[in-house]
Amino acid sequence: MEELSIGEVARRAGLRTSALRYYESMGLLPAPRRASSGHRRYDANILELLAVLRMAQQAGFTIAEMHLLVAGFSSETPASERWKLLGRKKLQEVETVITHAQQTQQILERLVQCECLRLEECVHNWTPSHAS
- Angle at the Cα of 66 from the Cα atoms of 58 and 91, rounded to 5 degrees: 60
Residue 120's pLDDT is: 84
Residues 89 and 66 placed together within one structural domain of the fold: no
Residues 57 and 16 placed together within one structural domain of the fold: yes
Residues 88 and 122 placed together within one structural domain of the fold: yes
Whether 77 maps to a domain, the answer reads no
Residues 17 and 56 placed together within one structural domain of the fold: yes
Residues 58 and 88 placed together within one structural domain of the fold: no
Sheet arrangement for strand 3-5: 3-5, 40-43, 33-34
How many domains does the chain divide into?
Answer: 2
Residues 52 and 110 placed together within one structural domain of the fold: no
Residue 5's pLDDT is: 93
Whether 8 maps to a domain, the answer reads yes
Residues 60 and 91 placed together within one structural domain of the fold: no
- Which of 52, 72, 92 represents a domain boundary (last residue)? 72
The parent domain of residue 42 ranges over: 1-72
State the Rg of the chain over Cα. Answer: 24
- Each residue's pLDDT expressed in tens, for the chain with a length of 132 residues: 689 999 999 999 999 999 999 999 999 999 898 888 888 899 999 999 999 999 999 999 999 999 999 999 998 999 999 999 999 999 999 999 999 999 999 988 888 888 888 888 887 777 655 544
Instruction: With CA atoms as reference, report the closest residue to 110 among 129, 98, 126.
Output: 126
CATH number at residue 5: 1.10.1660.10
Residue 19, CB half-sphere, CA atoms under 13 Å: how many?
A: 13
Residue 132's pLDDT is: 47
Interatomic CA distance for residues 90 and 81, integer angstroms: 14
Contacts of residue 45, Cβ cutoff 8 Å, sequence gap at least 6: 1
Asked if 6 and 39 touch (Cβ cutoff 8 Å), the reply is yes
Residue 127's pLDDT is: 60
